[in-house]
Each structure stands twice: as C-alpha cells, then as structure tokens.
Amino acid sequence: MKVMAFNGSPRKKWNTATLLEKALEGAAAQGAETRLVHLYDLDYKGCISCFACKTRGGKSYGTCAVQDDLTSLFAEIKEADAIILGSPIYFGDVSGEMRSFLERLLFPHLVYSSPPRSLFPRKIRTAWIYTMNVLEEMAKQLGYDRFFNSNAQFMERIFGHCQSLMCYDTCQFKDYAKVVADRFDPDKKQQRRREVFPLDCRKAFALGAALVEKNGIGLGSGTRNRDMNLPWE
C-alpha cells in the first residue's frame, strides 16, 4: 500500500510539514510505503482552462494535459492507495500553491454530467490536514467550517472518501520578539506548542494509520477529527 502526502506550506520543518510527517509515520507503522512532496519545490501553475481533459475523444480526456512538474505526480497518485493534503490557512483559504495543485488534481476527473461523476479509476482514501493561527472558536466565527466541509466534499466526489484534521492556534514563530506581532501572547503560544501540538501530532499519526488499516477508523463521509473514534479519546 502506498500513501502520498503533499505539503502546501512553504516551510518544510514547521507545523504543516511536521503533521504530514507524523501522518506518514502512522501509515508506515501499518506497513505502507510513503512519500512526502513539498509543493513549493515544484514548478507548476493552476488550471489554465484549456478543457483538454473534457474534450470528447481527446487524447487527454480525464487527464490534465499540461506538462510540468505535476505530470508525473498525477500518474503516481493514480497508483496510490491514499493521499494526504496539508496546508496552512492563509486569509481563510489554503495556500496558493495548494490551491493551484488542487485545481489540477480534481478538475480532470470531474465530469460535467447530471449527476456529476468521477473519472478517477477507483476509490482511494484521502485526508486534509489544516494548520491555522486562530482559535477554534474564531475559526467557526469566520466560517472556516463551511470551507473545510466544501473541500472534503470535493475530495469525496472524486476519490470516494475524505477525513479532515484541524490544528488551531499554531505557533508561527520560534522567537516572537523578532517580529511585529503584539496581538499575540508569546508565552501562551509557546505553551500551546509544548502542550497541545504534541497531541495534534498524535492525531496525525493515528489518521495516517487509519488510512492504511483494512477496516479503517472513522472512514465515513466527511469525517472530522473530533468525530473520529481514535485511541487518544
């Protein structure tokens, strides 16, 4: 079994990347082959609306026709058993690199039929991992839940399954004294990094393991981390 993870953060050793690594560790513990891809290392753009993937009888029907650093990855994804997408939240959305990746990942498989159907060759397990600077309560006030649910629904439509793990109130900087960020309490941020982030890492590990286990854990439609029957709860 192969599990691929895609890091939509420009940072390779901070919150999002760490959680993705933990998820892959969980998958590897169940015997899966794993790979972590840093999207910011790649040269690509979002969908260019050429519609070659939708052209009747076209050689690229159901496949993105653009040739760049994503081409080989999309072929590899078709052979994977599970994929995990991770991104920080910037201005209420995923990062620009992740958004461009998502357009190219999903659109070729989406058929403009009634009802819509997927051209992806089989069902695979997928997951989102989100990191953000806001508290959970603020995220709800800002309507992030609708955004998270929408992303999960798109993944379910194309691939069949999706789970989501949210990591709130993250520590953005190692040293808050070096940046203008007076609205935050550095001590509270560091305390949360010490006390809560390790729990998020455990959740990510369990999520990765759940994607691989034969029967899965909480692999229902649109499962959220607080609804999952995971071992730490």
Q: What confidence tens digit (pLDDT) does each residue in 118-164 have?
A: 999 899 999 999 999 888 989 999 999 999 999 999 999 999 999 99
Q: What confidence tens digit (pLDDT) does each residue in 10-19 have?
A: 999 999 999 9
Q: Is residue 231 pLDDT above 60, yes or no?
A: no
The per-residue pLDDT for 229 is 35
The model carries a pTM of: 0.86
**Domains annotated on the chain, with CATH:** 2-227 (3.40.50.360)
Average pLDDT in the 83-98 region?
Answer: 95
Q: Give the distance from CA 102 to its chain's centroid.
A: 9
Lowest mean pLDDT among 92-106, 170-184, 208-222: 208-222
The per-residue pLDDT for 117 is 85
* Percent of the chain clearing pLDDT 70 (strictly above): 90
The per-residue pLDDT for 219 is 38
Q: What confidence tens digit (pLDDT) does each residue in 124-137 have?
A: 999 999 999 888 98
**Residues contacting residue 230 through CB under 8 Å, at least 6 positions apart:** 203, 206, 207, 210, 217, 218
Average pLDDT, the chain: 87
The C-alpha atoms of residue 22 and residue 189 are separated, in whole angstroms, by 21
Q: Is residue 217 pLDDT above 60, yes or no?
A: no
The per-residue pLDDT for 178 is 75
The per-residue pLDDT for 224 is 40
The per-residue pLDDT for 195 is 82
Q: Is residue 60 pLDDT above 50, yes or no?
A: yes
Q: Between 77 and 232, where is the model more confident?
A: 77
Task: Give the pLDDT band of residue 214 (cuts 50, 70, 90).
Answer: low
Which residue bears the tokens 């603020």?
138
